Structure 1
Amino acid sequence: MSLAGPRYPQAKADAPLVVFDFDHTLYDGDSGSHLFVWMIRRAWWRRVLALLIAPVFAPMIAFLPTRRAGISAFVWAGTIGLKRRRDLDELIDRYVAGNADAIRRRLLPHALDVLHRHREAGDRVVIATGAPPELARAILAFVAHEDVPVVGTEVGPRFGAVIARRHCHHAMKMRMLREAGFAGEIAIAYSDSSADLPLLQAARRPVVVNPKPDRVEFFRRTLPPGTPILNWGCPDRGGEPLPG
């Protein structure tokens, strides 16, 4: 799914590498959760199934060691019956096309402007997200008209559904970026999440965007002095607000 967008100079192999997280960085919210809620709501029996598993799996999402298992359970409820990754990709495209206006309102204009400026400068830009890569790719292509490489959570068939096989999260995000060919020094990394600490620490210039208010002091203690901690338009998040 794509529409014609801006034309950018071809990034050279030695151009600065710039990595953006997606959720709460370019997109106001958790795009994967919004997708899978939509998928679960497609049928009454999926809603019942999600309610039955919620007491066990919903609390697991709050803790890093069990987050993958908790998320996977609800992904399973939303995708049971799908047999191939391609089936999920097609469903994602349908979701994005059918909800384009609501999704567009969640994309952060200043964030997209920063992305646009990096691409105009000829930087190598990549999105690294915990969501399925087709979701961020479809949103950026269809809604924002940006065609940019995306590294995300690997999904595949299991237990009669299509669920996460490798979660692009924490240290695994760095590993998956390298495996995808984005080697060398990271010039700038943008993320909201302490789960992306390995990514932010690997960057020559980390930039914290839209952090949870109670994580601001953590970032100040953990990242180099002077690291920007910014708010790009999420009213319920922390960080220094945009001028004006």
Structure 2
Amino acid sequence: MNLCLFDLDHTLLPLDSDHAWGEFVVALGWADGPEQRRANDAFYAQYQDGTLDIAAYVEFATRAWRERPAAEQAAAHERFMRELIRPAIRPEALALVREHQRRGELTAIVTATNEFVTRPIAAAFGVETLIAVELERDAAGAVTGRIHGTPSFREGKTVRVQQWLHGMGRRVQDSERVTVYSDSTNDLPLLELATHPVATNPSPALEAIARERGWPLLKLFP
């Protein structure tokens, strides 16, 4: 079976869901606006330049909501989906996912954003397998602010993909065709794992690398 892996933010979505959620908790009144935005923007800049401390970011990104009741968290996320995410899902991105599924390929979304934010987004795209940053939970099931296992970030994405496939008794090498779509140089380890890497809505840095290596360029969004 062929394999197709999609990054999420700025690849399938024309926005960064992690950063958008950070802004959304301000709109909810769950975080101090100026301080939240300052830190949120600083972490996002670190992600863009490849220097993000993923553990520090996850602690920050979950701080505003992790002690709130589960029902309140769920209601807020449904509003986030309704107001920000579903309107941003473009027909072109859905069609791309559906085409790979129609071919019978094993398909997954592989993202450095945490699973609380992204699981409903993966469901909206109709993708069953989500490989995201897993959040540690205590004995009562509450999010602690720490990461569980290997974070799906940079080289960690390849580790998590291999772990997922190993659980099915498979390896990446068993797939004749491995297609990876991403916009960011943070995903170079995953793109280099592919037989068919596709620089999708690429950052200038990734576009330069893709042109140098002869990788296809795909612009899903204007």
Q: Shorter-chain-normalised TM-score: which range? A: 0.7 to 0.9
CA contact (8 A) 1:22 1:127 kept: yes
Counterparts of 2:41 and 2:80 in 1: how far apart (Å)? 31
CA contact (8 A) 1:92 1:134 kept: no
CA separation of 1:56/1:131 partners in 2, compared to 1, >3 Å: closer, same or farther? closer
Of the three residues 189, 196, 200, the one matched with 1:209 is: 200
TM-score when scaled to structure 2? 0.78
Counterparts of 1:115 and 1:228 in 2: how far apart (Å)? 17
Counterparts of 1:50 and 1:121 in 2: how far apart (Å)? 47
CA separation of 1:150/1:20 partners in 2, compared to 1, >3 Å: closer, same or farther? same
**Matched ranges for 1:26-65 at <5 A:** 26-43=12-29, 46-47=31-32, 50-51=35-36, 54=39, 58=43, 60-65=46-51
Aligned match of 1:181: 165
CA separation of 1:36/1:167 partners in 2, compared to 1, >3 Å: closer, same or farther? farther
Offset at residue 129 of structure 1 (A)? 0.6
CA contact (8 A) 2:135 2:145 kept: yes
CA contact (8 A) 1:22 1:128 kept: yes
Offset at residue 229 of structure 1 (A)? 1.0
Aligned match of 1:10: none
Deviations 1:84-108 (A, max 9, x none): xxx49x7256423554253222113
CA separation of 1:128/1:212 partners in 2, compared to 1, >3 Å: closer, same or farther? same
The runs of at least 4 aligned residues of structure 1 exceeding 6 Å deviation read none
Aligned match of 1:232: 220
Code of the aligned partner of 1:231: K
How many residue pairs get aligned? The number is 209
**Matched ranges for 1:1-244 at <5 A:** 15-43=1-29, 46-47=31-32, 50-51=35-36, 54=39, 58=43, 60-69=46-55, 71-82=57-68, 87=70, 91=73, 94-97=76-79, 99-141=81-123, 143-144=124-125, 146-157=126-137, 161-165=144-148, 166-181=150-165, 183-185=171-173, 187-221=178-212, 223=213, 225=214, 227-233=215-221, 235=222
Q: Which runs of 5+ in 2 are unaligned?
A: none
Deviations 1:37-64 (A, max 9, x none): 22244336x2168349739964655543
CA contact (8 A) 2:7 2:109 kept: yes
CA separation of 1:164/1:50 partners in 2, compared to 1, >3 Å: closer, same or farther? farther
Counterparts of 1:101 and 1:162 in 2: how far apart (Å)? 26
Counterparts of 2:90 and 2:146 in 1: how far apart (Å)? 28
Counterparts of 1:52 and 1:19 in 2: how far apart (Å)? 31
In percent, how many aligned pairs have the same letter?
Answer: 22
Counterparts of 1:232 and 1:120 in 2: how far apart (Å)? 19
Counterparts of 1:55 and 1:135 in 2: how far apart (Å)? 15
Deviations 1:100-138 (A, max 9, x none): 253222113212101101111111111101112343331
CA contact (8 A) 2:122 2:130 kept: no
Aligned match of 1:238: none
Counterparts of 2:115 and 2:97 in 1: how far apart (Å)? 17
CA contact (8 A) 2:191 2:197 kept: yes
CA contact (8 A) 1:189 1:206 kept: yes
Counterparts of 2:8 and 2:55 in 1: how far apart (Å)? 21
Q: Which runs of 5+ in 1 are unaligned?
A: 1-14, 236-244
Offset at residue 76 of structure 1 (A)? 3.9
**RMSD of aligned alpha carbons:** 3.2
Deviations 1:129-178 (A, max 9, x none): 1112343331242x44x1421100011248x8434444311100110111
Counterparts of 1:50 and 1:73 in 2: how far apart (Å)? 15
Q: Secondary structure at the match of 1:136?
A: helix
